[in-house]
Structure 1
Amino acid sequence: MSTPPTPQPPGPGPTPTDPIPPPEPAPYPVPDPTDPVVPPPGPMPEPL
């Protein structure tokens, strides 16, 4: 008579079979490093 396998307790980390939770949205807009640098609107600073 074979004994049923004992269920293993969950490990400290997620297993490959667990779905990856979606990243939480940032509370503020995060600047994209790929975006070109846009100068702030307004008059151009006077050259020294």
Structure 2
Amino acid sequence: MGEIVDLESYRAERLRRLREERKRKDRRKGAQKKSDEASGGTEADPAKDEPV
């Protein structure tokens, strides 16, 4: 790893990486939510064949 020469550049790069990571997580959550909705949300619905 290189020596940190410019603290402002280092901080800007770090913030950029954090933002990109947050975006990736949000996209993953969105994709997971769409996948759950497409599957019919069977986890949240009670089973139809079981008596209440």
Q: How does the TM-score come out when normalised to structure 2?
A: 0.27
Q: How does the TM-score come out when normalised to structure 1?
A: 0.27
Higher helix share: 2
Q: Which has the larger radius of gyration?
A: 1
Higher relative contact order (CA 8 A, sep 6+): 2
